[in-house]
Amino acid sequence: MSARSTLRALPTLLRVGISEAVAYRAEMFVWVLSTTMPFISMALWTAVARYSPVGRYDSEGFIRYFLAAFVVRQMTGAWAAWQINFEVRQGTLAMRLLRPISPLWSYAAENLGSFPMRLVIVVPVALFSVFKLGAGSVPQTWWGWVFFFLALMGGWLITFLANVAIGTMSLFMESSTKLMDVWIALFFVFSGYLYPVELFPPALRGMLEWLPFRYQIGLPVELMTNVHGFGAALGLLARQWLWVGLMLAISVGLWKRGLKRFAAFGG
C-alpha cells in the first residue's frame, strides 16, 4: 500500500480506535487503576523526604515528580504485544493481513485511539499539580514544551515498538508474553517509574543513559518538571530518538521475518 493511501486510511483507523476505547471504557478504567504505582511511590518517598531531602527532592519535589510520572505513564502506554500474541494464537492475524494496510498501522491506531479517554484522566491530575505545587509542574519555556511533547511522542514510540518486537516473537515461539513480563520488570526498575533515575548510584546511572527504559518515562517526566537546561535536554532527546530509530528497525525486521513463518491456526 502506498504512503498516500496509508495516510488517507489513518483518520478512519483512529476513529475506529476511539470508538473501541469508548466501547471498552470499563477495561480502560481497569488499565488506569493498574498504572497507579506512582501514587504508591509518592506516598513512600514523601514520607522519607519529610525528615530529610533525598538528593534534590524534598516532599513537594517527590509529589511533583510522581504526579508527572502518572501523567506520562498514561500517555505512553501500549499493549500491542498482547494483541499480537492473542491474534497469532487464534489465527485471526490472517484477517488483518488481508486488509490493504499493514497490521502495524492498525495496532498503532488502536493504541492511539485511547488517548482522548486518557486525557480525561491526566488533565485533572496535571491541573491539580500546577494548582497545588505551582507552575514548575509544567515546562516553563517554549522549547521546554516542544521538547516535552517530542519526548512524550518518543516515549510512546519506544513502548509501542518494543511491544511490536516482543509480540512478533510469538511468530517464532509458542508465546512471547513471558518476554514481555521481563521487559516490564526492567521497565519498572530502570525507567524512573518507581523512583527518579538520578537517585541511582552514579556508575549505574551512566549505564541507564544508554538503555531504552529511561527514555520511556524518566526523560518526559524530567522535561515536564524542568530538570534540564536546553543543552542537556537536547542531548537526551537525541539519544531517545536514536532508540526510536533502533526499535523501529528491530520491530519491522522481526515482523517481516515472522510473517514468512506465519500460518493461521486456532479457533
For the chain, which residues make up each domain, given as ranges?
3-261
For residues 141 and 119, the model is more confident at 141
Q: What's at 66, amino acid-wise?
A: F
SS3 130: helix
Enumerate the β-bridge partners of residue 57: 54
Nearest 5°: the CA angle 73, 78, 83 is: 155
Give yes or no for a contact between 128 and 68, defined as CB atoms under 8 angstroms apart: no
157-169 pLDDT, tens per residue? 999 999 999 999 9
Query: Which residue, 171, 194, 196, 174, is CA-closest to 184?
Result: 194
Whole-number pLDDT of residue 9? 67
> For 134, which DSSP code?
-
Give yes or no for a contact between 81 and 163, defined as CB atoms under 8 angstroms apart: yes
Lowest mean pLDDT among 15-19, 36-40, 82-86, 132-136: 15-19
d(CA 198, CA 56): 9
CA-based torsion, 62, 63, 66, 68: positive or negative: negative
d(CA 58, CA 49): 5
Q: Kind and range of the H or E element at 48?
A: helix 37-49
d(CA 84, CA 191): 24
96-140 pLDDT, tens per residue? 888 778 888 888 888 888 788 888 888 888 898 889 888 888 999
User: Whole-model pTM above 0.85?
Assistant: yes
Asked whether residue 248 carries a pLDDT value surpassing 90, the answer given is yes
